[in-house]
């Protein structure tokens, strides 16, 4: 297929279309309507008035056209047919519209009919100036998903034009279409853009119509093909052989102050087996907050070191990286492992030293933040890359670290996340990812009780904090998220700290936020860990990973502003010791529908998988994964809740097309991917 471009469009439109992801003719053709308007029928004005409250289309001649200034400036156009008359009211209008709707002009107008103060009226109707006897369309009129400043008229025109230019050949062979009972591509697409008047509108709206099924299948097939190809490409790469589970691994297990849980032992076995393969591992280690992923990662690192390679552990924040460093170095350095520490806030000299350790291979393990992926960091012999809280990193960042292997070998990759990906999502978005799950918490944890409390009871909450601290418990107080302004967020944190310090004079109240220097943050965290500080006021910098087992009360202000996974992560900072933990979600009423659902979910469950499932339900997969994760919301049509059966079918077809790679199949795969993914395929590869 020759690449086609959108021509003959003003630049501004082109960029607006591009914002919607519409760059080629095929993109436009696959930009399907979200709903339709029925302009196929006209009723008399009298009939429309009788039906009242419904959307109707009427036709009449303009009898009056005036700009009224009361109660505000507006254009009122009166039209009449032989059965009655009706006002069209425009609160916003252009001068050209005033001229266009001159007396004597014939119009068709479509809107809900209301009975206003001056009689029957339509407010801001859709309308067309026509000549008498102009035929009615026989098809429904498409309404497309649109962006700012992009009118339906432009979209309709561009899409119709693109439909004349594209190559319509069906990418699926006839036999396959017959076998899967799929309708043909071209008629399906045409029908979805221009459905005939008599179509089953319910099946169009809920996307169960066979034409929709074809679109969904094609989309899912493209995705599965692309993922499977990525998987093959990965398997074709060489990786360091990390075969030895030797002295270090054994000594490490011996000095651990606890036994691995059954789940930890199981996932460790899965990872160990992967590391022995001659191609790079790509494994996601999922486990709810507090399930003990760090130790598993450290044991994987020990295997790399035992095999004579280096391992790198990258965490999204300095606080977390530091915590890992202390914990893991505390375990491994006594066993003779050199652990290097590398973050952006290191002094120049220290940075140069750390980089040298990494480059010479003297450091067998490197722990740090994004600083690890700087160009200046070269590894002597990188065997294993570990990315903690992987969802916090962009695809490109993870890729950069993985590309730091040497001798043409791609290091193994272990990603960790407490944000679980439900099975259907994992299957569609991460087909090239093995998944290990820690589905068991270490013993001795007590459940967290969660309550939602109106913000106006803040004083009672402060008293509660006081009482808890006097009992020897430690408290996190999380400040509200202020997305618009980091400065404002900081201000709020500082204010909250001052208020709490004043209200709790007999306690030590600490403050930690993202703008503090790393050393300052560290000092506060240390004091909190040592229980010199009882109440820690924090912004979301503590969201990930922070582990202070004695903290057992968490207060989150303006909890309604946080997303579900963020609330779950925050709450995961408590419930790490044996004391009964409490999480108080302060909210500002009145609560919106989604916020209410979120808080209810938080009260009802502490199971990260269940929370993720509901989050997916509330937000949909595109938002759930976030643009950073998915590159783009790759599935536009298929809906994972309802179309799971199609996912399975698409997977099987993809499998068989790739497994029998004779020329015909290869051509099908190419054509199908070109049509559906164009240049977007790269996002799926990491």
Which spans of this chain sit near ligand ADP (rule: CB under 6 A)? 258-261, 264, 287, 289-295, 418, 442, 547, 549, 576
Judge whether 142 and 158 are in contact, CB under 8 Å.
no
Min dist. Cβ of residue 545 to ligand ADP (A): 6
**Shortest distance, position 416 Cβ to ligand ADP, whole Å:** 7
Tokens in use for 109? 């107008």
Q: Supply the minimum distance, in Å, between the C-beta of residue 263 and ligand ADP.
A: 9
Measured CA to CA in angstroms, residue 182 lies from 197, 212, 214 at distances of: 23, 10, 6
DSSP H helical segments within 471-517, as ranges? 486-503
Is the CB of 145 or the CB of 262 nearer to ligand ADP?
262
Stretch that binds Mg ion, among 119-127, 524-532, 545-553, 626-634 (CB under 5 A): 545-553
For 31, half-sphere exposure in the C-beta direction (CA atoms, 13 angstrom radius) is: 28
Distance CA 370, CA 398 (A): 10
Per CB under 5 A, the list member of 125, 420, 545, 621 interacting with Mg ion is: 545
CA distance 384 to 365: 10
Element (H, E) at 439: none
Cβ 542 to ligand ADP shortest distance, Å: 13
Region of 322-330, 538-546, 597-605, 654-662 interacting with Mg ion (CB under 5 A): 538-546
Please report, in angstroms and rounded to a whole number, the separation of the first and last CA atoms in the chain: 27
Would strands 282-287 and 535-538 be described as parallel, antiparallel, or unpaired? unpaired
Least separation in angstroms between residue 409's CB and ligand ADP is 28
Considering the rule CB under 5 A, would residue 480 count as an interface residue with Mg ion?
no
421 interacts with, out of ligand ADP, Mg ion, none, CB within 5 to 8 A per kind:
none
Which one, 245 or 289, has the nearer CB to Mg ion? 289
- Between 229 and 576, name the residue whose CB sits nearer to Mg ion: 576
Residue written as token pair 């503090």: 516
- Alpha-carbon distances, residue 196 vs 58, 138, 154, 204 (angstroms): 20, 6, 22, 11
Residue carrying structure tokens 């009689």: 119
304 binds, among Mg ion, ligand ADP, none (CB under 5 to 8 A by kind): none
Q: Where do we find the tokens 């204010």?
A: 495
The entry of ligand ADP, Mg ion, none that residue 261 binds, CB within 5 to 8 Å by partner kind: ligand ADP
In this structure, are residues 10 and 149 in contact, taking their beta carbons and an 8 Å threshold? no
Which residue of the chain is nearest ligand ADP when measured via CB?
292
Closer to ligand ADP by CB, 301 or 653: give it.
Answer: 301
Interacting partner of 383 out of Mg ion, ligand ADP, none (Cβ under 5 to 8 A depending on kind): none
Q: Is the dihedral of CA 24, 29, 35, 41 positive or negative?
A: positive
Question: Contact between 608 and Mg ion (CB under 5 A)?
Answer: no
Indicate which of ligand ADP, Mg ion, none lies near residue 210 (CB less than 5 to 8 Å, by partner kind).
none
316 is an interface residue for Mg ion by CB under 5 A = no
CB of 265 to ligand ADP, least distance (A): 9
Minimum CB separation of residue 430 from ligand ADP in Å reads: 19
Per DSSP bridges, beta strands 448-454 and 474-478 are unpaired
Q: Which does 289 bind (CB under 5 to 8 A by kind): Mg ion, ligand ADP, none?
A: ligand ADP
Question: What are the tokens at 481?
Answer: 């998220």
Tell the smallest beta-carbon distance from residue 531 to Mg ion (Å): 22
Q: Read off the tokens for 135.
A: 């035929």
Long-range contacts of 3-6 (CB under 8 A, 24+ apart): 4/162, 4/165, 4/166, 6/158, 6/162
Find which of Mg ion, ligand ADP, none residue 60 binds, CB within 5 to 8 Å per kind. Answer: none
Q: Which residues of the chain form contacts with Mg ion (CB under 5 A)?
A: 545
């Amino acid at each position: 297929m020759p690449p086609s471009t959108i021509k003959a469009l003003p630049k501004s439109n082109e960029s607006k279309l591009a914002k919607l992801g519409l760059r080629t003719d095929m993109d436009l053709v696959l930009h399907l309507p979200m709903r339709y308007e029925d302009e196929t029928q006209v009723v008399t004005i009298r009939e429309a008035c009788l039906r009242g409250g419904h959307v109707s289309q009427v036709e009449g001649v303009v009898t009056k056209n005036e700009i009224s200034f009361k109660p505000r400036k507006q254009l009122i156009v009166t039209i009449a047919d032989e059965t009655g008359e009706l006002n069209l009211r425009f609160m916003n209008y252009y001068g050209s519209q005033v001229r266009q709707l001159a007396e004597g002009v014939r119009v068709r107008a479509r809107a809900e009919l209301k009975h206003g103060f001056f009689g029957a009226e339509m407010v801001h109707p859709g309308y067309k100036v026509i000549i008498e006897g102009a035929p009615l369309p026989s098809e429904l009129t498409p309404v497309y998903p649109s962006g700012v400043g992009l009118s339906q008229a432009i979209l309709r025109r561009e899409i119709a034009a693109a439909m004349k230019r594209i190559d319509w050949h069906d990418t699926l062979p006839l036999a396959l279409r017959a076998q899967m009972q799929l309708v043909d591509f071209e008629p399906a697409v045409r029908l979805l853009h221009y459905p005939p008047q008599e179509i089953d509108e319910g099946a169009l709206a809920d996307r169960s119509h066979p034409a929709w099924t074809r679109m969904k299948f094609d989309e899912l097939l493209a995705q599965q093909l692309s993922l499977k190809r990525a998987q093959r490409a990965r398997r074709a790469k060489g990786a360091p052989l990390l075969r030895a589970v030797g002295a270090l691994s054994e000594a490490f297990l011996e000095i651990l102050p606890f036994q691995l849980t059954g789940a930890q032992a199981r996932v460790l076995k899965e990872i160990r087996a992967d590391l022995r393969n001659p191609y790079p591992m790509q494994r996601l280690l999922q486990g709810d907050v507090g399930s003990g992923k760090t130790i598993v990662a450290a044991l994987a690192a020990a295997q790399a070191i035992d095999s004579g390679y280096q391992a790198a552990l990258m965490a999204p924040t300095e606080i977390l990286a530091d915590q890992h460093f202390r914990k893991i170095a505390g375990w491994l350095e006594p066993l003779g492992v050199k652990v290097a520490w590398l973050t952006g806030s290191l002094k120049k000299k220290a940075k140069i030293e750390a980089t040298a350790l990494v480059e010479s291979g003297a450091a067998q393990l490197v722990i740090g933040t994004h600083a690890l992926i700087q160009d200046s960091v070269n590894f002597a012999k990188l065997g294993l890359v570990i990315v903690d809280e992987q969802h916090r990193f962009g695809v490109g960042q993870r890729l950069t670290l993985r590309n730091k292997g040497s001798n043409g070998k791609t290091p193994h990759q272990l990603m960790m996340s407490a944000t679980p990906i439900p099975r259907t999502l994992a299957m569609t978005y991460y087909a090239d990812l093995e998944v290990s799950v820690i589905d068991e918490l270490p013993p001795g944890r007590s459940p967290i009780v969660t309550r939602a409390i109106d913000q106006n009871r803040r004083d009672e909450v402060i008293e509660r904090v006081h009482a808890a601290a006097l009992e020897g418990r430690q408290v996190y107080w999380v400040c509200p998220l202020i997305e618009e302004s980091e400065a404002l967020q900081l201000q709020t944190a500082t204010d909250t700290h001052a208020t709490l310090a004043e209200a709790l004079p007999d306690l030590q109240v600490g403050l930690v936020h993202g703008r503090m220097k790393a050393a300052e943050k560290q000092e506060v965290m240390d004091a909190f860990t040592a229980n010199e500080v009882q109440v820690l006021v924090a912004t979301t910098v503590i969201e990930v990973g922070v582990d202070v087992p004695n903290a057992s009360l968490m207060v989150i202000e303006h909890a309604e502003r946080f997303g579900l996974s963020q609330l779950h992560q925050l709450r995961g900072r408590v419930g790490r010791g044996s004391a009964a933990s409490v999480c108080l979600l302060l909210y500002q009423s009145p609560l919106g529908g989604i916020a209410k659902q979120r808080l209810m979910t938080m009260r009802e469950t502490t199971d990260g998988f269940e929370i993720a499932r509901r989050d997916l339900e509330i937000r949909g997969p595109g938002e759930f994964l976030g643009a950073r994760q998915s590159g783009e919301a790759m599935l536009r049509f298929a809906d994972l809740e309802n179309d799971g059966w199609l996912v399975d079918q698409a997977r099987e077809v993809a499998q068989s097309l790739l497994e029998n790679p004779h020329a015909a199949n290869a051509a099908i795969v190419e054509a199908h991917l070109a049509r559906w993914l164009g240049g977007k395929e790269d996002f799926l590869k990491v």
